[in-house]
Chain A
Amino acid sequence: MNIVVCVKQVPDTSDPDTEVHIDGTGRGVDQSKFSFVINDADNYAVEEAILLKEKHGGEVTVVNIGGEAANQVIRMALAKGGDGAVRLDDESFVYSDVVATARLLKSAIKDLGCDLVLTGCMASDDGYGAVGIALAQMLEVPHAAYVKTVEVVDDKKLKVGRELEGGLLEMNEIEMPCLLAIQTGGNEPRYASFKGIREASKKEIKVMDLAATGLSADEVGESGSVAVMTQYSVPEVGDLAEMIEGDPAETSAKLANILKEKGLV
């Protein structure tokens, strides 16, 4: 089973030191205080791809749109068991919306002859949760969103569990080739081994610029987009929490007293 897995590099918003500040253009964020990681859901998609490869054979190709810095997340996916990678990188790709992004991914995937395309269900930075589903339509294959469980029925069919609100699983049968947008939590993403990391450094990351995609400039970036984010703003917030100030000894004492006064402890 040949599998493509799309991975995005995103700022680590779980790191308290990652500050998100709007930059001077109003359309970007200051990245100077970002540490970057693989998008959470994509990490689960990579694991799913490698589990399927281990069980059913085939190759896993990692696809990314990003600058050179994204090699870090690509290499990690290769170290875990990916066989090859494509990185789409061109100045003209900046400001691509969901449609332009999906179009770019398609240009890298369409000739790979794969049975299965995996994406994450959502990127933690822009939160569109739509690139995979748009890509499936462009590739003209069936798809399923929020997939948490994947089972191979036979060489033409998969049984997938889509996780809905309240944790309800919607079980579906889907024909391959198809695209699954993977939700977090369905497997246990492995750590790369030292051997894997060493081998990954020898694997090829093919870089595609605009010319290599075969797309024209007006199909990518802002001009190739239908819904462009044009202005960031700081959200209006209502009443913020009353902040308890002091060192841990003080804040914990004040909190303990508040809880006691309210009869909660």
Chain B
Amino acid sequence: MGDIFVLAEHREGELREVTLEMLTLAGQLGGNVVCVLLGSGVDDYASKVAGYSDKVIYIDDPIFANFNAMAYQAALSELIKSEKPSVTLIGNTGQGVDIIGSLAVELEVPFTTDAVAVTLEGDKPVVTRQYYGGKINGNINFKDADTYIIGVREAAIPAGEGGKSGEVAKTANPVTAEITARKFLEYVEAAVGDVDITQSTLLVSIGRGIREDKNMPMVEELAQLMGADISGSRAVVDAGWLPTDRQVGISGKTVKPKLYLALGISGAFQHVTGMKGSDLVVAINKDPDAPIFQYADYGIVDDLLKVVPALIDKLKEMKG
């Protein structure tokens, strides 16, 4: 095993955790861990990632102040061609998915995305991925090649302590041509609403399983009885049943209530990422195989349209 490239990810002045997770994975695979840092004036990230790397290739260029897929791809493509790493790991994130497929096709390198585990068979990586919303796993068998590109799921592999101290090699950007076809303009923060669900003690959280917005009053009644706030999955927000700021998950909020009552939520990892820190999770879902039950303390396999009204009655009874 030769070099393993890990693309550092940063955004708005923050080095993202997925970087350390991938560096940890690279260390476990046993290669020479090389962190590729594309940034502008981010020496502090360079020293941070050096603690997890055998070497840091740091390209300091204003073009990398903010993520630009075309600038990133151009630089990475040159680096992979010149340095010939055995494997390149890229976060399967909003940034990473914007370059993994195109970079791999450009270089004609075997690749896959959203790995939850990576092992080696000889020098060849074997990737485990999830299919059908996390209901089954599948193994990826790469065509033989000198190098591979793998997108790694965020929060799938915990970051370790580091304990390395790689040299930081500041390198000139191998790409000098101006990028015109795509330009970064600005970031626009997500809207803030009336309730901050990250501070809620009790959450009644709804998913596509509530079926129609005519079932919302039932949910509101339950939440009111419990003194809970209402949150939901992306599917429910997409449908317009809840405002965007009530969305729990990777592209929404991370919540840590004392109780997370999940009604008709399947438990896709993008959702679970945002709620697995809850103290007590109760899930009601008609499908006994729904992944949400893997993260719940208590589960009820039944139609929520029957259980919720019954629960409302019981709570009313208890309150007298």
Contact = CB atoms under 8 A, between A and B. Distances in A.
Asked if A and B bind, the verdict is yes
B235 A14 contact: yes
Given A167-B251, A241-B298, A227 B188 contact: no
Given A164-B94, A230-B141, A241-B298, A13 B67 contact: no
A116 B317 CA distance: 59
Interface stretch (B41-49, B52-60, B101-109): B101-109
B167 interface: no
Q: Which DSSP category, helix, strand, loop or mixed, fits chain B's interface?
A: mixed
Interface string A154-175: 0000010111111111111111
Interface string B88-121: 0000111101111110111001111110000000
Contact of A127 (B99, B114, B143): B114
Interface stretch (A50-58, A70-78, A128-136): A128-136
A227 B302 contact: no
B100 A130 contact: yes
Interface in A135-186: 136-138, 142-146, 159, 161-175, 178, 184-185
Given A143-B69, A242-B299, A256-B318, A129 B237 contact: no
A129 B154 CA distance: 14
Interface in B186-234: 186-190, 202, 208-209, 225-227, 234
A165 B286 contact: no
Interface residues of B, number: 104
Given A98-B112, A171-B185, A242-B298, A228 B141 contact: yes
B263 to A, nearest CB: 12
Contact of A102 (B105, B237, B250): B105
Given A127-B114, A244-B299, A264-B280, A20 B132 contact: yes
Nearest to A18: B287
Nearest to A161: B188
A112 interface: no
Contacts of B112: 97-98, 128, 227
A127 B270 CA distance: 12
B286 A144 contact: no
Interface residues of A, number: 85
Contact of B93 (A164, A225, A230, A234): A164
Contacts, number: 274
B129 interface: yes
Interface stretch (A83-91, A194-202, A207-215, A247-255): A247-255
Nearest to A188: B240
Given A20-B132, A134-B102, A226 B110 contact: yes
Interface in A220-250: 225-235, 237-238, 240-244, 248-249
Contacts of B94: 145-146, 162-165, 170
A14 B208 contact: yes
A165 B155 CA distance: 12
Given A11-B132, A16-B286, 15 more contacts: A13-B133, A19-B289, A134-B101, A142-B182, A169-B187, A170-B187, A171-B184, A174-B181, A230-B141, A241-B281, A242-B298, A243-B300, A248-B302, A258-B282, A264-B259
The 5 nearest A-B residue pairs measured at CB: A167-B190, A164-B94, A133-B101, A241-B299, A252-B310
Interface of A: 11, 13-14, 16, 19-20, 22, 29, 40, 44, 97-99, 102, 121, 124-134, 136-138, 142-146, 159, 161-175, 178, 184-185, 188, 225-235, 237-238, 240-244, 248-249, 251-253, 255-256, 258-260, 262, 264-265
